[in-house]
Structure 1
Amino acid sequence: MTIANPAADELGSAAQRDRRKRILDATYDLAKAGGFDAVQMRAVAEQADVALGTLYRYFPSKIHLLVSALGRQFDEAAQRVTTREVPGDTSADRVLHVLRRMSRGMQGDPQLTEALTRAFMFADSSVAAEIHVVGMSMTAIVTHAMRGGPAAPGQEASEQDVAVARVIGDVWLSALVSWVTGRSSAAETAQHMETAIHLILRD
């Protein structure tokens, strides 16, 4: 079975883009209603009005599908965040402001967050392309927050900033996993993130 390339899909026809959107929309709806277990490939195909074989051509497995949905969620967050100024006196304050908002949004939809996060936990090397999309969006969000606002033309994040952003992204996702699996409360998760960010970003 051929593994779909998300980048190639995005460059496809309008019909392909619409089909992919319907599939991911159906995935969100099913996950919101019933979490990870509710997202079954046949149910997604029926709700998206596509043939089951077509669904598998786009997404070879349920894990590919859910991690792609997570990637779209993060990409949309990155597009919103990176067009505005981020409040805060220090890079730590700004990063915490953005991550708190993202955390509240995800914790406000626990079934969907459980489904997407569990898929990310289960993902193996065959889902590398989809995981890369998640990582790139998270890095864009964090580097923007560290800087405080949109980059000037030609201004790129330094290798150091990208490396720091990746560590912060890993810590945040780990904290999210702890919340999803019930190992920490929302308040404990927030405190863990605050401590970690202030340790990493010593302004």
Structure 2
Amino acid sequence: MKVNGRTPEAKAFRVERVVKATRELATAGGYEAVQMREVARVAQTALSTLYKYYASKDDLINAAVGSELNSLTEDVLRRPPRQRTAEGRAGEVFVRAYVAMVRDPGFAHAAMSAGNTVLEFDLDRVRHSEEINVKSHWSVTFTQIAAVQAWGPDNRCNPIQARALDMMETLWVASVVSWLNGDMSADEVKRRLRLAAKRLLAVDSAEPNGNSADVS
């Protein structure tokens, strides 16, 4: 997010400071601990100014998730996955992202709560969703990180690759939630992510041009 800095109010507003405060509060108490007033207090920012840039606590948490994804990108550039197969390298990206959640359960709880809230029931919206491909606020970036590690920066994902990566992200989210709820151990999550990557993403080697008999 860019702050133009033209007014004293804008100059006083520091995105990094707000994201840091959001992360600290989430780490300490999960989703419920992130409150707009508390973030403003910790970040030493006027509440009115905070609301000008972030409409809700979910927006704050999503900004923190974006920062985490930037860290993941830096990590895989610094320590590229060394698996021999594309599916192995992509799977390692999902595993590393999960390990980051394990290291900070409070932030994981906030991220999952903000990113996966079920909206009030609306039948028209459900019917409309059958006609469009709705992506989450951060899934594009997440899957792009895995795609680059799997097939290289110049690869343009074909329909099979893109769909398989989306399925991996969905599994990743569900697995983090299961771990947070105490339904699955950390080691089991990693095993499932690696197995899923091996099964889902290996389709690329069989159909390099995405010409599958059934991609509908």
* TM class by smaller structure: 0.7 to 0.9
Question: Which deviates the most, 69-78 or 110-119?
Answer: 69-78
Asked whether the equivalents of residues 92 and 194 of structure 2 are also in contact (C-alpha less than 8 Å), the reply is: no
User: Residues of 2 paired with 1:58 and 1:76: CA distance?
Assistant: 22
Residue deviations 1:95-134 (CA, integer Å, cap 9, x gap): 2222222222210111111121121122759xxxx943x1
2:45 to 24, 27, 50: 50
Could you tell me how far 1:158 is from its partner in structure 2? 2.5
2:4 to 4, 13, 24: 13
TM-score scaled by structure 2? 0.74
TM-score scaled by structure 1? 0.79
Asked whether the equivalents of residues 26 and 47 of structure 1 are also in contact (C-alpha less than 8 Å), the reply is: yes
Tell me how many residue pairs correspond in the alignment: 185
Cα 1:159–1:75, aligned 2, differ >3 Å: closer, same or farther? farther
Structure number with bigger Rg: 2
1:137 alignment partner in structure 2? 141
1:106 aligned onto 2:106: no
Asked whether the equivalents of residues 142 and 169 of structure 1 are also in contact (C-alpha less than 8 Å), the reply is: no
1:173 alignment partner in structure 2? 173
Cα 1:105–1:47, aligned 2, differ >3 Å: closer, same or farther? same
Cα 1:116–1:97, aligned 2, differ >3 Å: closer, same or farther? same
User: Residues of 2 paired with 1:173 and 1:74: CA distance?
Assistant: 14
Same amino acid, percent of matched pairs? 29
Q: Which runs of 4+ in 1 moved over 4 A?
A: 14-18
Q: Which residue identity is paired with 1:173?
A: V
Residue deviations 1:23-46 (CA, integer Å, cap 9, x gap): 111001111122222111111001
Asked whether the equivalents of residues 101 and 108 of structure 2 are also in contact (C-alpha less than 8 Å), the reply is: yes
1:35 aligned onto 2:42: no
SS of equivalent residue, structure 2 residue 101 = helix
SS of equivalent residue, structure 2 residue 116 = helix
- Structure number having the greater helix percentage: 1
